[in-house]
Amino acid sequence: MLGITANLMREQMTIHPALIWEEDTVILVDAGYPGQLPLFREAMEAAGVPFEKLHKVILTHQDIDHIGCLPDLLNASPQKVDVLASELEKPYIQGEKPLIKLEKVMARLNDFPQEHREGLKRVFENPPKALVDKTVADGEELPFCGGITVIHTPGHTPGHISLYHQPSKTLIAGDALAVVDGQLVGPVPQYTLDMDVAIQSLKKLAQYDIEAVICYHGGLYRENVNRRIAELADGR
């Protein structure tokens, strides 16, 4: 789990992309906000994995804080880096369709401080984009790093995916779950397109034997993960 911390609109925010690697394969899950390439380089180096060894980027979904740095990552890499995402998210990531939450963000533009409005408008009117080299499907097992299972977990966005790293029994949840004040919680309602569908996705996650979960917002959670996800799926 990487910790990428930056000041955004006068507020310090930390996101938690995941890095999975073995001798010949280095995979980054999600790509942060625009302009964070130096922070990714530093975080990967601190983890003992040089940026130059990056082979693949898997995007859990299309939101700007997950695709933001992707074009810079791809351009800076000395080798071809494959991008993987779900079929439903692909046209948004590639810029063929406007980001699904764009209209909602633009409607809230006046809620942001005056000095940030123009910058936000430019980013959201011309969001980062990149080609998706391979689409992944629900239940697909990626033959990397001991085995990674793709889990279709819609709700936050229609094509949101989570990843289950089989050897470590670690769930990379994207935005399907979050950690707030040390407690595992469900998807944040104000950023989730369909809460009913998102709760159904939690029921699917509860079927896996999970010892640790990495949430993009909030970080790592290890305490009785399966029981807690089951509680959330039951609305508790």
Whole-prediction pTM: 0.92
Give the residue extent of every domain in the chain.
4-233
Q: Is the dihedral of CA 68, 69, 71, 74 positive or negative?
A: negative
Question: What are the structure tokens assigned to 83, written together?
Answer: 């991008």
Sequential pLDDT tens for the chain (236 residues): 999 998 765 678 899 999 999 988 999 999 999 999 999 999 999 999 999 999 999 999 999 999 999 999 999 999 999 999 999 999 999 999 999 877 666 666 666 666 656 666 666 677 899 999 999 999 999 999 999 999 999 999 999 999 999 999 999 999 999 999 999 999 989 889 999 999 999 999 999 999 999 999 999 999 999 999 999 999 87
Strand locations in the chain, DSSP E? 4-8, 11-15, 18-21, 26-29, 56-58, 82-86, 134-136, 141-142, 148-152, 161-165, 170-174, 178-180, 183-185, 212-215, 219-221
Residue 211 has a CB neighbour count (10 Å cut-off) of: 12
Sequence-ordered alpha helix ranges (H) in 126-224: 195-205
Domain 4-233 has CATH 3.40.50.720: no
